[in-house]
Amino acid sequence: MLKTSKSTDLSFYMNEQERLKSQGLADYSHVQSLPEMWSLVAKKFGNTVALRDPHAKPKVEITYTMLYRQIQQFAAGLQALGAKVGDRFSLIADNSPRWMIADQGIMMAGGVNAVRSSQADKEELLYILTHSDSTILVVEDVKTFRKLEQGLGELPIQLVILLSDEATPTSESLKIVNFQELMEIGVNQTLVPVKQSHDMLATLIYTSGTTGKPKGVMLSHGNLMHQVNNILAVLQPEEGDIVLSILPTWHSYERTAEYFLLSQGCTLVYTNLRSIKRDLKQFKPHYIVAVPRLLESIYEGVQKQFREQPQGKQRLVKNLLSISNKYIKARRIAQGLDLNNLHPSMAERLAAKAQAAALSPLHALAEKLVYGKVREATGGRVKLMISGGGALPKHIDDFFEIVGVEILVAYGLTETSPATHFRRSQYNLRGTVGKPIPYTEVKIVDPETRKELPQGEKGLVLLRGPQIMQGYYKNPEATAKAIDSEGWFDSGDLGWVTTENDLILTGRAKDTIVLTNGENIEPQPIEDACLRSPYIDQIMLVGQDCKTLGALIVPNMEALEQWAASSAQDENVTSTTGQKINLESKIIQDLFRQELNREVQNRPSYRPDDRIGPFKLILEPFSVENGMMTQTLKIRRYVVTQRYRDIIDQMFA
């Protein structure tokens, strides 16, 4: 738990807020709800561009003054059409300025929105509409409406709003208006102010539902405003800073990040996977909110460029990266930021400083020859990348530190609004998810007995603070299971806390693979180690109730083909069907066996039970489209296991 008393914590954080205010940063500690914030934002940042969508037709650019006005219009239009305080809305749409206008317009009118992607499965969306008791539906476009239309007859939906300007479909039972029509209604309507407090429900965010039905997480205005006010202790962006937005805007991680960044006058630029490389260079963002998979994609793009260089240059780059890796590790020890040696002796610090000084010229040469060009691929002026939504593999963390792009890892869950922990620039301890953000407590307990464990011991992570959800909507049993009588939320994560109060996660309690010898294996750290191999694009460990671990592997086919060509193995790996690479050939199987053994055994804390036995190479990547990844690009283990049940059974036969 936090070492200081609650009163001392409050005093410290209040002083911290005063310091931040003195720097001219926007302060909303007195604000009760998100809608109340926008008038203050508009007054402070006025003509600064808030939202930019370069991919819309026509392109969209909205200043803070315009954003506040359009939120008001949307809210007034809703009130004119009969929306009342407390009404439930289902907002089924994706990233765009209109999503933000609708989201905050609904809240300004006093409504509560249940949010989800328009790309989600029809049955899942209809479940959310039903379970949330929605009476108003806001959808991306006519296509989304048509997908849901047949299921609306049995629901109490009375009003449908399209976020597009398409002609509205005719309906005998529903009133349907498009975005432009709603805004025209709103501009001629006087908005009736709605007084909202911290404890009023703001939104329902439904969990991914990898097993069973998704649960509706109830987040209040107080939950969301806690994030807006307290992330400021970690990040202090400047007015006009560019932020590239690519993650699902309705997801709690991206959504809260956007609320916070907009509260400080940043400019949000919407991008997508097809356009991100071009947008990085064109808009040169200062901040990127990312998930590990996105950072892995950037890393792999850089590795691909390295592989395309002549052999001599490849060797040079590889040697420079190796030297820089030793340099950053020595620098970490010298700074007291090595997770494996948090309290180095004076002799160890001096030795590390000497090693860093000796390697510094070569690292500087690598910076000039290689790393500066790598940063140019991200636009060249990234202040920080913020990584959340999953564990960041060690080699990705190391790589970005080497090339001079700082990553701050954030941690939390939908149920915690979401951030509870953040790494800090002034104490960026790699391998951790950082320290608690203000007013947040953490406790490590034994998963079975729930007794608090001594500092440094691994156990179940419990969390408490103003960002903890109100509960699961209409599900008191699940709420009681998640939050105990003292307000501690069961994260489902395993981890431990350092003497400096940094949290290290070691796996998911429910992801744990139990072998027949009784050993509990956390798959994530082993998977992260395997991803260091250039030939492994994705991997998921299996082996519950088996003698050894196994793995499903999506290979990096491009890297494999280059390896085959460069090592004169073309004839040995070509399949009889003419496929470029025969994944079942002995030489390919041997290559992957070698890669798995090396990466797993090179892990710090390697145990014999970590060794991967049988594995299967599969061509279809895990993706959102095929249902094997969540919208934030985390593998849905249960879904993948079911999809490949026969293959897994054969692996262990």
Express each pLDDT in 136-161 by its tens digit: 999 999 999 999 999 999 999 999 99
Residue corresponding to tokens 């991803």: 531
pLDDT at 18 over 90: no
Q: Tell me how far apart the alpha carbons of residues 164 and 281 are, in angstroms, rounded to a whole number.
A: 29
Q: Tell me how far apart the alpha carbons of residues 545 and 548 are, in angstroms, rounded to a whole number.
A: 9
CA angle 357, 392, 350 (to 5 degrees): 20
Position 516 scores a pLDDT of: 76
Position 211 scores a pLDDT of: 45
Position 22 scores a pLDDT of: 58
Position 607 scores a pLDDT of: 82
Position 519 scores a pLDDT of: 75
Radius of gyration of the chain (CA): 26
Q: Where are the beta strands (DSSP E) in 71-211?
A: 88-92, 112-116, 136-139, 159-162, 175-177, 201-206
Position 572 scores a pLDDT of: 60
Which string of b and e fits 305-318 if b means at least 16 CB within 10 Å? eeeeeeeeeeeebe
Position 8 scores a pLDDT of: 35
- Beta bridge pairs of residue 386: 289, 408
Position 603 scores a pLDDT of: 85
- Sheet arrangement for strand 489-497: 441-445, 459-464, 489-497, 503-508
Q: Tell me how far apart the alpha carbons of residues 37 and 65 are, in angstroms, rounded to a whole number.
A: 13
Position 579 scores a pLDDT of: 55
Report the chain's mean pLDDT, rounded to a whole number: 92
Closest of 458, 415, 412, 411 to residue 433, by C-alpha: 411
Alpha-carbon dihedral sign for residues 530, 533, 536, 537: positive
φ/ψ (deg, to 5) at 39: -65, -35
Closest of 100, 106, 135, 139 to residue 120, by C-alpha: 139
Position 214 scores a pLDDT of: 86
Q: Which two tokens stand for residue 182?
A: 């709603």
Q: Which CATH class is domain 31-196?
A: alpha beta
pLDDT tier, 7 (very low <50, low <70, confident <90, very high otherwise): very low
Position 528 scores a pLDDT of: 92
Position 361 scores a pLDDT of: 98
Position 6 scores a pLDDT of: 36
Position 508 scores a pLDDT of: 78
Instruction: List pLDDT tens digits, range 557-600.
Output: 999 998 988 776 655 666 544 457 899 999 999 999 999 999 99
Share of the chain above pLDDT 70, in %: 94
pLDDT at 74 over 80: yes
Q: What is the mean pLDDT of the segment spanning 471-497?
A: 96
- CATH, domain 512-651, list 3.30.470.20, 3.40.190.10, 3.30.300.30, 3.40.640.10: 3.30.300.30
Q: Which two tokens stand for residue 39?
A: 């008038």
Q: Which range among 195-209, 229-243, 347-361 shows the weakest confidence by mean pLDDT?
A: 195-209
Closest of 31, 181, 51 to residue 107, by C-alpha: 31
Locate the domains of the chain by residue range: 31-196, 512-651
Instruction: List pLDDT tens digits, range 295-346.
Output: 988 999 999 999 999 999 999 999 999 999 999 999 999 999 999 999 999 9
CA angle 95, 397, 622 (to 5 degrees): 50
pLDDT at 522 over 80: yes
Q: What is the mean pLDDT of the segment spanning 412-416?
A: 95
CA angle 598, 628, 96 (to 5 degrees): 115
Position 546 scores a pLDDT of: 85
- 31-196 and 512-651 share one CATH topology? no
pLDDT at 13 over 70: no
Position 226 scores a pLDDT of: 97
What global pTM score does this model have? Answer: 0.84
Q: Which two tokens stand for residue 338?
A: 């090595």
